[in-house]
């Protein structure tokens, strides 16, 4: 009579190791976002000590209104960067959408604000679709494609404007009021930005198609072999980025009132910086929408705080550049730790 060998009721060593590795990686990523929050808090405290008016109600209101537009752009950019791509055309799409909606409202003042928002979304989505089609079917790197469309969309805007601008007195009062009005003291621009962040964050976290974007960014070939429709997901990511840039264009028009062909110029670099500083890996596959939003708020706060502190504009750009380099270096450290954890896991499985 033979007896079966005793079986262990405890978890296998490899399973325990997997959980430990995932816990360490998660801790690194959470620490990254926590560090951004702490840096933001420290900057606000130091600036408030130097000039207490920095924390006045109007100052905070102006700060968050300016950040709302960058946050909306950063959410769309984060979706694209997670897939290991980039969209450099968002500033031009914002300017073109703002001028398009401004022209519509100038010709038809009775158009409701909701319709204007939908028009901006649709206009931006078409621009994003063009980017996505060129990247997917043209097999051209997104950096090259969107750098080209950055100038194409900007050129279309200058041709359309013909050297003219749309002034606030030519826009409907209701639309201009939308740029500062709100609900229970919370401006509409902030509400819209929060809704965009919540919807995009929950989608990427809870839906399969959202999780697939991370898989694409981590390893596009493996994602393709796993049956993930990489082409369609890439196309959708660019459409989302374009649509949110179009929405940001409407918010820009409502916030500032005066619109010309140069609206949004240079904004794409600030958006990319906000996403990278916010913890979205420039190499794709990791990061959160929440981190990108916090990064956008941090960079906006830097832009508002440094003049108050009497620091030259040059140093503002230098600080942003240093933050980008620090973020990329952190991404490399995180990637190295993940790779080391995977190698140790494989060695445990083999043994």
| pLDDT class of 29 with cuts at 50, 70, 90 | low
Q: Is the pLDDT of residue 10 over 80?
A: no
At 89-137, the pLDDT tens digits run 999 999 999 999 999 998 888 889 999 999 999 999 999 999 999 998 9
| pLDDT class of 66 with cuts at 50, 70, 90 | confident
Per-residue CA distances from 51 to 44, 57, 249, 306, 326 (Å): 10, 14, 32, 11, 28
What is the C-alpha to C-alpha distance for residues 101 and 93, in angstroms, rounded to an integer?
Answer: 12
* 136 neighbors 234 (Cβ within 8 angstroms): yes
Which of 331, 323, 325 minimizes the C-alpha distance to 294? 323
Question: Among the listed ranges 10-14, 40-44, 63-67, 326-330, which one has the minimum average pLDDT value?
Answer: 10-14
Which pLDDT belongs to residue 88?
A: 94
What's the average model confidence in pLDDT over 338-345? 65
Which pLDDT belongs to residue 174?
A: 87
* 325 neighbors 233 (Cβ within 8 angstroms): no
* 94 neighbors 260 (Cβ within 8 angstroms): no
What is the C-alpha to C-alpha distance for residues 294 and 44, in angstroms, rounded to an integer?
Answer: 14
Sign of the CA dihedral with 346 first, then 347, 350, and 351 last: negative
What's the average model confidence in pLDDT over 286-314? 84
What is the C-alpha to C-alpha distance for residues 290 and 200, in angstroms, rounded to an integer?
Answer: 9
Which residues are CB-neighbours of 25 under 8 A, at least 6 positions away? 334, 337, 338, 341
- Comparing 49 with 4, which gets the higher pLDDT? 49
What the block records as the tokens of 205 is 């976290």
Q: What are phi and psi of 182, to 5 degrees?
A: -170, -160
* 263 neighbors 174 (Cβ within 8 angstroms): no
- Comparing 347 with 62, which gets the higher pLDDT? 62
Report CA Rg, the chain: 23
What is the C-alpha to C-alpha distance for residues 27 and 11, in angstroms, rounded to an integer?
Answer: 22
At the top level of CATH, which class does the domain 28-46+69-344 belong to?
Answer: mainly alpha
Instruction: Please report where in the chains the tokens 């502190």 appear, as a residue.
Output: 309
Q: Is the pLDDT of residue 198 over 90?
A: yes
Q: How many residues does the chain have?
A: 351
* 87 neighbors 146 (Cβ within 8 angstroms): yes
Question: Among the listed ranges 16-25, 28-37, 78-87, 159-168, which one has the minimum average pLDDT value?
Answer: 16-25
For the chain, the domains span: 28-46+69-344
Phi-psi region of 163 (alpha: psi -120 to 50; beta: other; left: phi over 0): left
Q: Is the pLDDT of residue 289 over 80?
A: yes
pTM: 0.85
């Amino acid at each position: 009579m033979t007896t079966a060998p005793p079986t262990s009721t405890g978890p296998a060593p490899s399973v325990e190791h997997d959980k430990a590795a995932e816990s360490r990686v998660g801790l690194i990523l959470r620490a990254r976002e926590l560090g951004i929050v702490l840096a933001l808090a420290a900057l606000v405290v130091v600036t408030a000590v130097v000039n207490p008016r920095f924390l006045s109600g109007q100052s905070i209101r102006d700060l968050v209104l300016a950040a709302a537009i960058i946050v909306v752009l950063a959410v769309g950019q984060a979706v694209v960067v997670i897939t290991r791509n980039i969209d450099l055309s968002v500033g031009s799409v914002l300017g073109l959408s703002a001028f398009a909606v401004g022209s519509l409202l100038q010709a038809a003042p009775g158009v409701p604000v909701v319709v204007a928002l939908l028009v901006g979304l649709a206009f931006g989505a078409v621009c994003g679709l063009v980017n996505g089609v060129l990247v997917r079917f043209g097999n051209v790197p997104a950096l090259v494609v969107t750098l080209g469309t950055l100038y194409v969309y900007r050129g279309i805007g200058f041709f359309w404007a013909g050297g003219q601008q749309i002034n606030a007195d030519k826009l409907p009062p209701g639309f201009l009021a939308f740029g500062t009005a709100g609900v229970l003291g919370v401006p509409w621009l902030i509400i819209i930005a929060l809704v965009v962040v919540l919807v995009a964050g929950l989608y990427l976290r809870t839906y399969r198609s959202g999780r697939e974007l991370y898989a694409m960014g981590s390893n596009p070939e493996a994602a393709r072999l796993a049956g993930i429709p990489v082409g369609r997901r890439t196309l959708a990511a660019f459409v989302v980025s374009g649509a949110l840039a179009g929405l940001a264009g409407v918010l820009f028009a409502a916030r500032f009132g005066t619109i010309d062909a140069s609206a949004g110029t240079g904004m794409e670099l600030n958006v990319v910086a906000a996403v990278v500083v916010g913890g979205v890996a420039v190499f794709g596959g990791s990061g959160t929408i929440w981190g990108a939003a916090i990064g956008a708020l941090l960079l906006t706060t830097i832009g508002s705080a440094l003049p108050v502190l009497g620091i030259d504009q040059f140093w503002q750009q230098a600080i942003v550049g240093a933050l980008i380099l620090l973020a990329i270096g952190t991404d490399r450290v995180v990637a190295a730790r993940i790779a080391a954890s995977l190698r140790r896991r494989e060695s445990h499985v083999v043994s």
